[in-house]
Structure 1
Amino acid sequence: LSQIIFYEDRNFQGRHYCNSECPDLTSYFNRCNSIRVESGNWILYEHPNFRGHQYYLSRGEYPDFQQWMGFNDSIRSCRISPQHQGSFRVKVYEREDFRGQMMEFTEDCPNVYDRFRYRDIHSSHVLDGYWMFYEEPNYKGRQFYLRPGEYRRYTDWGAMNPRIGSFRRLHHFQ
């Protein structure tokens, strides 16, 4: 069973438990300044219905929102990241609708430009596994959670622009 505890204040003060997917946490707390992940791996979202900034958290303690690379104290929805035991494959494209240059990856990519020669990824097809895209190289900046499926344009994974600096496979270590 996966469990996460949200706290309104820093350093784990004022709490609310969650152990399943929740599309709207608004009625449970006003702000989120610290989190304790008891078990499982979680994707948190800034807005209800799994929208806005996204954050991937694994087991551990996060005494303030900067610890999970949060942009603010707003967490309004969450879901458990599924376990994945198999292979990882993602195709990235320089243009939307799977056009232009394409490159397939099976491993983490700390710097997209070094490997792909493009700073922007306009579409992607996740064939296997779960991936986290980051706006900046070396897994920094805004995060975007991609499950298996087709993403015809960057807005399909929740981005406001096509800039992706790095991405990695989501392994689940307990």
Structure 2
Amino acid sequence: MTHSGSFRLKLYEHFDMGGSMMELTDDCSNLMNRFRMSNFNSCDVEGHWLVYEHPHYRGRHYYLRPGQYSSFSDWSGFNSRMGSIRRLADL
């Protein structure tokens, strides 16, 4: 079940929504291939997402609720590495 228009994830290179911004509205199995970056220190979230440390939805994962996260520690991340991201459409 997909909720069109309700998923948007803005990933920022630096803390407090600073630096380069990359935007997603759909799943991404490899952020490095898509954006040439894998370290994101803050984000602005619409919808519910799972963030994985490694590509192809592997490794530690973190649940992101709607809202702003000014630092990776706000989502209980050990570091700023993100390898892949998946929408949670069935909540």
TM-score norm. by structure 2 comes to 0.91
2:42 maps to 1:123: yes
How do 1:21-32 residues align onto structure 2 when only pairs under 5 Å count? none
Larger Rg: 1
Q: Which runs of 5+ in 1 are unaligned?
A: 1-83
Q: Note the C-alpha offset of 1:85.
A: 3.6
Partner Cα distance (2:67, 2:8) in 1: 11
1:148 aligned residue: 66
Task: List 4+ stretches of structure 1 deviating above 6 A.
Answer: none
Pick closer, same or farther for the CA change 1:119–1:85 going to 2, 3 Å.
Answer: closer
2:8 aligned residue: 89
Partner Cα distance (2:25, 2:38) in 1: 19
Larger relative contact order (Cα-Cα within 8 Å, sequence gap ≥ 6): 2
Q: Percent identity?
A: 48
Q: Note the C-alpha offset of 1:171.
A: 1.7
Matched AA of 2:72: Y
2:64 maps to 1:138: no
Q: Note the C-alpha offset of 1:151.
A: 0.4
1:106 aligned residue: 25
SS at match of 1:114: helix
Partner Cα distance (1:122, 1:167) in 2: 15
Matched AA of 1:167: I
2:56 maps to 1:159: no
Q: Which runs of 5+ in 2 are unaligned?
A: none
2:66 maps to 1:168: no
Q: CA RMSD in A?
A: 1.8
State which drifts further: 112-121 or 132-141. Answer: 112-121
Partner Cα distance (1:153, 1:109) in 2: 21
